[in-house]
Amino acid sequence: MSTRLAKQGRLIDRSKQIDFTFNGKRMQGYAGDSLASALLANDQMMMGRSFKYHRPRGVVAAGSEEPNALMQLGSGDRYEPNQRATTTELFSGLTAKSQNHWPSLEFDVLSINNKLSRFLTAGFYYKMFIHPRPLWKHVYEPIIRKSAGLGEAPDNELKDPDTYEHFYFFADVVVIGGGVAGLQAAKAAAESGAKVLVLEENKHWGGRASVDGGTIDGEEPEVWIEKTLDALRGMNNVTLRDRCMASGVYDHGYVLGYERLTDHAPGQGGPRHRLWRIRTKQIVTATGAIERPLSFAGNDVPGVMLAAAMRDYVVNWGVTPGQKVVVATNNDDAYRTALALHEAGVEVVRVVDARETGGGALMEAVREKGIRVELGRAIAKVKDGPRVTKVAICAQNGEGGAQEEVEADAVAMSGGWSPVVHLWSHCGGKLNWDKEHAFFRPDPARPPLGDNGTGFVIATGAANGNLGLGAVLEDAAAAGSQAAEAAGFPAKAVASAKGVSEAETAMEAVWLMPAKADIKLRMKSWLDYQNDVKVSDVQLAAREGYESVEHTKRYTTLGMATDQGKLSNINGLAILADSLNSEIPQVGTTTFRPPYHPISMGAIGGEARGEIFQPVRKTPIYDWNDANGADWEPVGQWRRPFAYTRSGESRHDAVNREVKNTRENLGLLDASTLGKLIVKGPDAGKFLDMMYTNMMSTLKIGKCRYGLMCSENGFLSDDGVVARIDEDTWLCHTTTGGAESIHAHMEEWLQTEWWDWKVYVANVTEQYAQVAVVGPKARKVLEKLNAQAGGGMDLGKDALPFMEWRDGQIGGFDARAYRISFSGELSYEIAVAASEGQAFWDALMEAGKEFNVMPYGTETLHILRAEKGFIMIGDETDGTVIPQDLNLQWALSKKKEDYLGKRAHLRSHMADPDRWKLVGLETTDGSVLPDGAYARGNGVNANGQQNVIGRVTSTYYSATLGRGIAMGLVKHGPKRMGEVIEFPGTDGTIYKAKIVDPVFYDKEGEKQNV
Amino acid sequence: MLILECPYCGVKAEETELGAGGEAHLKRYGPGSDDDQFHDYLFMRENPKGVHFERWRHSNGCGKWFHAARCTMTMEVFGTYSAQTYEPPQEIKDKITAKRPGWSWREFSDASE
Amino acid sequence: MSNPVTATNGAQFAGIATVADAGLQGMITLRGDLSSSVLQAAVKAATGAAVPAQRKIEISDNGAAAWMSPDELLLLVPYEQAVAKTAELAEALKGEHALAANVSDARSFLSIAGEGARETLAKIAPVDLSAEAFKPGDFRRSRTAQVAAAFWLQKDGSFRVVCFRSVGAYMFNLLSASAHPQSAVGVYTA
C-alpha cells in the first residue's frame, strides 16, 4: 500500500491538515501536498483509467509530465476536467473525481476494450470506421464520443465565475525554470546588468537539487538555493515569478508565461490566471530533464512509477507509493531512489539493472545497505491488475523466459533522462543525438533565430544535456553571462557556484525490456500512457509503411495531445528506428509545439469577456435609444437600432409604423455612425477625382454630390455624399462600416503612391452626432426650433436647396445642415458636436411632438431607400459588383483620364453584356421574396446544377405600397421589363416575380425637392 | 509574433500594432496599360522562400505605411524603411548581400554578382 | 446653448489604480510640416507649448502638444476654446499646407492614477511601461486590448488616455477590469 511516512516531506507542513474529497470520499492531506501526493498518502494509487483501453492507471510522475492522473476538479461553475493531480496544489475543500470510467473507477464497463485490445491496434479507427459512410454519423461517432476522450465537458449553461488577465512585460533575459541551473543563470545574467525575468512553474524554487543531493559551494543545495534567491530578490533588475510556467517560445523573442494565481485558493478574489506576454532579447531555457519510462510488459500497472518521481514523493511529501519496491534501471540515478526508499524504511526488494556491468559508487552504496542488486536483468512483466502485486524478472538479453517472480507493490523504473528541449525547439532550435546518454540535446550551433538573425535561446543545465551538479552549474553561469552579452550588456565572467555530486557510470540504452520481448509482452509494453500507444502499435505502423516519424505519430497518436512527447518521445522513436532498421537521429523527432503544458482558455481570452468581450461602439444617443425601445442590430462594432419597438408591438409592426410615419409626418434617424472624412490641401480635388468614379474637383463650395468609390479591381467599395467646404477642403461621407477602412484606403494611396501630392485627411466621424430629420414636416420642426431660440439658419427651399449644405445655428446649437435625402422625402441631415448630440435629439423630440415625430431604425432606413431604388453598399454590392451592374454609369466620369477602377472596367469580364444587372422585382401575389434567393434559368450547368439567372439583393415589405418589393441582379434584366421569373425558396415554394423598374415610389423625385 | 521597427515613430512594434500590406514596390498600371500589364499588377505576387520585401502599416500607432525587408524562412528582419521610395535603400541591400549572398527579388539583387 | 457631456459622464473606479473620466478636453488634430516655423509659432500661440519631439508631449500651463506622427500633432486646449483655437490655427496657417480639425467631441479622455497605474495599462497595451522605459512626457499611440488609443505619463505619475468617443465606455470598463483591487502584479510601483 501507499502511505504517509512517519518522517520526511520537506514541502509539507504536518501541523496543517487539509480535508478534501476524491470520488466523494473524504480524505486528508497536509499543506504543501500536491493532489497526487495526498492521494498516495491515502492509499489511492489508482487515479484514473486509460484513454482507449480503459486500463487502470496510477500516477507515474510527480510533475507536469504526468500522463495518467488527470482529474475532474471542482464542481458547478468552477468544474474543470483533465487537470493533473501532480500539478494541483492541495487546498481545503478541494473536490476531485477520476475520469474516463463508468460507472466507477474500480468497476468500469468499457474496460472490455482492454480485453479487445488486440483488435484495437493503431489505425483501428481509421480502418474500421471509414465504410460504410452513413454509419459514421449515427453509429460510430456517438459510440466513440462516449467511449473515448478524457474528462466530461463542463455544463455549457454555466459561466466561469473567475476572471483572467494578460500582462505585457519586457526583459533583456528571460530564464525559464527556477532550478539551480535557472537560478545560477539568472544571477550571472543579472550581474551583467541585464533586466532578468525568471519563471518557475511550481511554487518551490530549486528544482530537483534538494531531492537529488550533492553539495553546492560545500553546503546542502537547499542552503545555496535560499541564498541565491535572497540575492536575486535584492536586485532591482530581477523579477522572480513562481507558479508561472513558460508555455511557449515564439518568433522574435516572444514568450508566454502562464501564471496560476488562485488555483490553490479558489474564490480568494482577483484574477485566476494571468497570461504574461513577454518580449525579450534572450531566453535561457533551464527546464531540466524528464526521466523516461522503461518499456516492459505491464509498465502501466498502478504502482509502476518513474524512479525519480518515487524519490520525490518520499523526500518532498513524505509518502511512499509502496512497502516492497522493485527498482528497474539502465543507469545510476535510480540507485538514489533505492537509497531514499531504504532511508525512509521502505523495503527495496531488488534493483534490476539491465547493464551487465552495473553502476558505480551509487550501486556500491546500495549494496552496502544490503539491498540485492541484479545485473543484466530485466523486468519480464508486472502482473496485470489494479495494483502491482507480482513482478517477474528475467535476463535482459532474452525473450522473457526463465522468470523469477517476486512479490512487490511498487516498481520504480528509470530508462534514463531526456533534456526538456520543448521550449528550445518551439521556435526552431535544432537537436543533436547524444549517443552516450541516448537523448536529444540542443545544438548550440543551430538555435532559434531572432529578428536580427542571431540566436535568441540558450539551453542550459540538464536541459542542455548536462548531468551532475558541477557541470550543470558551470554551464548555467556561462549561459547567463552569454545571454546578457547577447542582449547587449558588457561581457562579464561570472564565477559559477561549485557543485559536487556522486560520479555516475555510463547508462546503457534499453528500448525494450527484455531486449527480445515476444509479441505478447510487447502488446503490454506501453510507450505513451496518455494516448494508450504500445510498442506493438509503433511496430505495426512501421510495417504498414508509416516510415516518417510525423506519420507514425498521427497514425498511432504517439506523443500527441497534452503529452507533446514528454514521456513517450524517445522510447517511441527508438522502437520506430529499430523497426525500420534505422538509427534514431535518422528517424528524427516530431515537432514540439506550444503550449508545453495545457493552459486555460480563460487565460488566453484574458479580460475579453462579458461586457468587454469586444468593444461596442456607441453613438452619443445610444443610451436614449436603449431606453426607448431600440431593438439593437450590430453594424460592425456599432450598435444601431433596427427599430424602436413599443410595448406589445412586434418588430414588423414597429417597422411598418416607422415607415408610414416618416413618409406622412416626421422621422428621426440617429445617423451618427456615418463616416466623415475631411480631405484638405492644394491637391485634394485631384486626389478625390482619383478616389471617386465621378468628378469631385468641380463641386462648388456649399454643394453636395453623391459619389461612388471602386477598388483598383473595379468593384464598388463605398459610396456617400461629398460636400465641398472651401477652396481646398472637402468633407466625404462614407458608409457606417467604411469610416476607418476608407480613411485607411485614402492614407494608403497618399502615402504609398502619390506621396508628392499635398493632401491631408482627418477622420472626424465621431466629432459629430448626426441626425437625419426626415418627412414632410422636417422643415417645420427645424424652423420651430429656430423660432424658439430666437433665430437660426434659414432652412427655406431657396436658402438651402436640395444637395447643398450650410453652417449656422439650429435651435441654438452650432450645426451643419446637409439638404440630402436617402429616403426620397424632404430631409435634412444635421451635424452637431457629439457632446451635444443627446441635447439636440431631445430638443427635436420635444419640438416634434406636435408633428407626430417618431425615431426610426435601420430597417426603416433600408425600406425607405429601397422604395426609391437607392442601392446599399453590402446589399446590392458584395465585392463582385461594379457600378455598371447597378445602372450607375452616370456616376462614371468620362472626362477623367484615370480613377481607381477605371482601367479594371475595361477588362473583358467587366464589359461582358451578360453581367447581371439591377432591376426591381415585384411578386405576382404581393408577397415578400426571400432574401438572397436565386432566379431559376433553363437547363443545368457543367456540374449538373440548375442554371441560375439572377438573385435577390434587397427585399422588404413596403408599408407605403402595401406589398413586397425587392431589388435584384438579373441577367439582361433591364431588357426584360415585365417578364415574370421564378425564385425557388428554401421552403420549397416557388416565388414568381415580375421584373420592374427599381424605383417603386415617387419616380419623379418630387417629394424630396420641396 | 513578429516585431518590426516603424521607421516613422521609432517604435519596435509587435504584430498586433501592425497591419500587413502585401508585396512592396508594386508599380501601378492604369488606363493605357495593356491587359497583361494590368493583370500582373493586380494579381501576380512574389512568394519567395527567403528574402522578401513587404509593406506594413503601423495601424495601431502612427498610422504610417512603411517597407520591411525580411527573410520569410528565418524571420530575420534586414531592415525597415520609408514607403516613399521606389526601391530599397542601398544600405539595406548591402545588409542583405552580406547575409544572403546571391539574393535576388524581382528587379533587385545582390549587386556584387 | 449647450450642456455638453462626455461619453463616460464623470465615471470613476478605484482599485489598484483610480480610473476616471478626465472630463471635456479641447483637442485639435493638426497635420502639417512640423519643422515649419509658421506651424511651430501657431502651435505655441494655440497651446503655449512647443512642437514636441518624436513620441513626446509638451505640456504648458493651459495646453499641450503631443506627437502623433511625423506630420500630425494632437493639441490640447481648454474645451470651450477649441472651436476658436481651431479657427485661429487655420488662419495662422493659411499660407501653409496644413489641416486643423476640432476633434474635442470625437474623443474620450480618461485618467489612471495611483500606485497601480503602470500595471493597469500594462495589462492591455503591448508597450514597455516600466519606469526605466516610460517616463513623464513620453507619449505613445498603441493598442489597448481591442481598440486603438494614445496615452502619456504626467509628472505626477498618472496616465492620460485618449480613445475614440464611441469606445469610451468600453475603455472605462476595460481599465476598471485591469485595475481590479486584487490584481496587483507587483512588478511596477509608482
Query: pLDDT for A877-909, tens place per residue?
Result: 999 999 999 999 999 999 999 999 999 999 999
* CATH classification for the domain delimited by A518-587, as one of 1.10.10.1100, 1.20.120.10, 2.60.120.10, 3.40.50.1970: 1.10.10.1100
| Residue C11 Cα, gap to closest chain A Cα (Å) | 15
What local confidence, expressed as pLDDT, does residue A956 receive?
98
CATH architecture, domain defined by A869-996 = Beta Barrel (2.40)
Q: How sure is the predictor about C177, in pLDDT bands with cuts at 50, 70 and 90?
A: very high
Cross-chain residue pair C141–B62, CB shorter than 8 Å: yes
Interface membership of B3 toward A (CB under 8 Å): yes
Same domain, C99 and C31: yes
| Residue B63 Cα, gap to closest chain C Cα (Å) | 7
Chain C residues lying within 8 Å of A766, measured CB to CB: 103, 105-107, 164-166
Neighbour tally for A841: CB within 10 Å: 22
What local confidence, expressed as pLDDT, does residue A776 receive?
97
Cross-chain residue pair C146–A607, CB shorter than 8 Å: no
What local confidence, expressed as pLDDT, does residue A49 receive?
87
CB A442 within 8 A of CB A594: no
Cross-chain residue pair A907–B74, CB shorter than 8 Å: no
Burial (0-12, 13-18, 19+ Cβ within 10 Å), B91: exposed
A737 pLDDT above the threshold of 70 = yes
Q: For A622-672+767-864, which CATH superfamily applies? A: Probable tRNA modification gtpase trme; domain 1 (3.30.1360.120)
Chain A residues lying within 8 Å of C103, measured CB to CB: 762, 764, 766-767
Average pLDDT value for residue range B5-25: 97
Taken in order A373, A376, A382, A387, the sign of the CA dihedral is positive
A401 pLDDT above the threshold of 90 = no
For residue A976, give every residue at least 6 positions away whose Cβ sits within 8 Å of its Cβ, in sequence order, or none: A919, A970, A995
**CATH fold of the domain at A1-157:** Ubiquitin-like (UB roll) (3.10.20)
Cross-chain residue pair A903–B84, CB shorter than 8 Å: no
Average pLDDT value for residue range A81-104: 90
Smallest Cβ–Cβ distance between A453 and the set B28, B57, B74 belongs to: B74
Domain boundaries, chain A: 1-157, 170-289+420-500, 303-415, 518-587, 622-672+767-864, 675-766, 869-996
Chain C residues lying within 8 Å of A764, measured CB to CB: 101, 103, 106
Interface membership of B102 toward A (CB under 8 Å): no
A130 pLDDT above the threshold of 90 = no
Cross-chain residue pair B83–A251, CB shorter than 8 Å: no
Which of C109, C123, C140, C162 to mutate to test binding with chain A, by most A CBs within 10 Å of its CB? C123
Q: Which residue of A has its CA nearest to C181?
A: A270
Chain B residues lying within 8 Å of A452, measured CB to CB: 76-77
Same domain, C36 and C101: yes
Q: How far apart are CA A530 and CA A672, in angstroms?
A: 57
Smallest Cβ–Cβ distance between B60 and the set C54, C55, C143 belongs to: C143
Smallest Cβ–Cβ distance between B9 and the set C69, C143, C148 belongs to: C69
Return the H-helix or E-strand segment holding C96: none
Smallest Cβ–Cβ distance between B62 and the set C68, C126, C143 belongs to: C68
**Each residue of A517-570: pLDDT tens digit?**
999 999 999 999 988 899 999 999 999 988 888 888 888 888 887 777 888 889
A623 pLDDT above the threshold of 80 = yes
Q: How sure is the predictor about A127, in pLDDT bands with cuts at 50, 70 and 90?
A: low
Smallest Cβ–Cβ distance between B83 and the set A279, A751, A897 belongs to: A751
A107 pLDDT above the threshold of 90 = no
Return the H-helix or E-strand segment holding C115: none
Number of Cα atoms under 13 Å in the Cβ half of residue A126: 8
Chain A residues lying within 8 Å of C127, measured CB to CB: 168
Cα-flanking dihedrals φ and ψ of residue A22, to 5°?
Answer: -130, 125
A967 pLDDT above the threshold of 80 = yes
Average pLDDT value for residue range A96-101: 86
A135 pLDDT above the threshold of 80 = no
What local confidence, expressed as pLDDT, does residue A106 receive?
78
Chains that touch A (3 or more CB pairs under 8 A): B, C
Taken in order C178, C182, C183, C185, the sign of the CA dihedral is positive
A701 pLDDT above the threshold of 80 = yes
| Residue C148 Cα, gap to closest chain B Cα (Å) | 6
Average pLDDT value for residue range A108-124: 69
C190 pLDDT above the threshold of 60 = no
* DSSP-assigned letter for residue C182: T
Q: Chain B residues contacting C, CB < 8 Å?
A: 8-11, 13-14, 16-17, 59-64
Cross-chain residue pair C126–B63, CB shorter than 8 Å: no
CB A287 within 8 A of CB A463: yes
First to last CA, chain C: 42
A610 pLDDT above the threshold of 80 = yes
Instruction: Tell me, yes or no, if the two domains A518-587 and A675-766 fold the same way.
Output: no
A936 to A768, A933, A948: CA distances (angstroms):
46, 9, 5
**Each residue of A191-238: pLDDT tens digit?**
999 999 999 999 999 999 999 999 999 999 999 999 999 999 999 999
In a domain, C183, yes or no: no
Smallest Cβ–Cβ distance between B84 and the set A450, A744, A755 belongs to: A755
* CATH classification for the domain delimited by A303-415, as one of 3.50.50.60, 3.40.50.80, 1.10.10.10, 3.40.50.11030: 3.50.50.60
Chains that touch B (3 or more CB pairs under 8 A): A, C
What local confidence, expressed as pLDDT, does residue A755 receive?
97
Q: How sure is the predictor about A494, in pLDDT bands with cuts at 50, 70 and 90?
A: confident
For chain A, percent of residues with pLDDT exceeding 90: 87
CB A293 within 8 A of CB A573: no
A147 to A101, A109, A131, A616, A702: CA distances (angstroms):
9, 10, 20, 42, 74
Q: Which residue of A has its CA nearest to C8?
A: A620
In a domain, C91, yes or no: yes
Cis ω before A132 (30° cut-off from 0):
yes
Return the H-helix or E-strand segment holding A732: strand A729-734
What local confidence, expressed as pLDDT, does residue C1 receive?
47
Average pLDDT value for residue range A617-640: 97
A888 to A490, A719, B107: CA distances (angstroms):
68, 12, 40
Taken in order A112, A113, A114, A118, the sign of the CA dihedral is positive
Cis ω before A442 (30° cut-off from 0):
no
A582 sits in the region (left: phi over 0; alpha: psi -120 to 50; else beta) called beta
CB A386 within 8 A of CB A104: no
Smallest Cβ–Cβ distance between C123 and the set A167, A270, A814 belongs to: A167
For helices A361-368 and A334-343, angle between their N-to-C axes, nearest 10 degrees: 30
Q: How far apart are CA A892 and CA A885, in angstroms?
A: 12
Q: For A675-766, which CATH superfamily applies? A: Aminomethyltransferase beta-barrel domains (3.30.70.1400)
**CATH fold of the domain at A170-289+420-500:** FAD/NAD(P)-binding domain (3.50.50)
In a domain, C184, yes or no: no
Q: How sure is the predictor about A838, in pLDDT bands with cuts at 50, 70 and 90?
A: very high
**Each residue of B69-104: pLDDT tens digit?**
999 999 999 999 999 999 999 999 999 999 999 999
B19 pLDDT above the threshold of 80 = yes
In a domain, C190, yes or no: no
Chain B residues lying within 8 Å of C148, measured CB to CB: 59-60
What local confidence, expressed as pLDDT, does residue A531 receive?
84
Q: Which residue of A has its CA nearest to B96?
A: A453
Chain B residues lying within 8 Å of A253, measured CB to CB: 3
In a domain, C121, yes or no: yes
Cross-chain residue pair B75–A451, CB shorter than 8 Å: yes
Cross-chain residue pair C31–A762, CB shorter than 8 Å: yes
CATH assignment at residue C138 = 3.30.1360.120
A113 pLDDT above the threshold of 90 = no
Average pLDDT value for residue range A57-73: 94
Selection from A651, A652, A616 nearest residue A635 by Cα:
A616
Q: Cell 408633428 identifies what position?
A: A851
Number of Cα atoms under 13 Å in the Cβ half of residue A499: 29
Which structural domain, as residue segments, surrounds residue C101? 26-105
Domains of chain B plus CATH, in order, are: 3-105 (3.30.2270.10)
In a domain, C5, yes or no: no
pTM, 2 dp: 0.95
Q: How sure is the predictor about A140, in pLDDT bands with cuts at 50, 70 and 90?
A: low
Same domain, C78 and C52: yes
For chain A, percent of residues with pLDDT exceeding 70: 96
CATH assignment at residue C38 = 3.30.70.1520
Cα-flanking dihedrals φ and ψ of residue A878, to 5°?
Answer: -145, 25
Q: How is residue A824 written as a grid cell? A: 426620397
Cα-flanking dihedrals φ and ψ of residue A564, to 5°?
Answer: 45, 40
Q: Which residue of A has its CA nearest to C32?
A: A760
| Residue A740 Cα, gap to closest chain B Cα (Å) | 11
What local confidence, expressed as pLDDT, does residue A126 receive?
65
Window 8-67 of B, Cβ < 8 Å to A: 14, 21, 28-33, 35, 38, 42, 55, 57, 59, 63-65
Q: Is the ipTM of this complex over 0.95?
A: yes
Cross-chain residue pair B1–A252, CB shorter than 8 Å: yes
Single-letter amino acid code for the residue at A582: S
What local confidence, expressed as pLDDT, does residue A133 receive?
65
Same domain, C57 and C117: no
**Each residue of A300-349: pLDDT tens digit?**
999 999 999 999 999 999 999 999 999 999 999 999 999 999 999 999 99
Same domain, C146 and C117: yes
Instruction: Round the average pLDDT of chain A to a whole number and report it.
Output: 94
Q: How sure is the predictor about A388, in pLDDT bands with cuts at 50, 70 and 90?
A: very high
Helix (DSSP H) and strand (DSSP E) numbers for chain A: 26, 51
Better-scored residue on pLDDT, B19 or A55: B19
Cα-flanking dihedrals φ and ψ of residue B59, to 5°?
Answer: -70, -35
Same domain, C82 and C116: no
Return the H-helix or E-strand segment holding A453: none
Q: Chain C residues contacting B, CB < 8 Å?
A: 54-55, 68-70, 72, 126, 140-143, 148
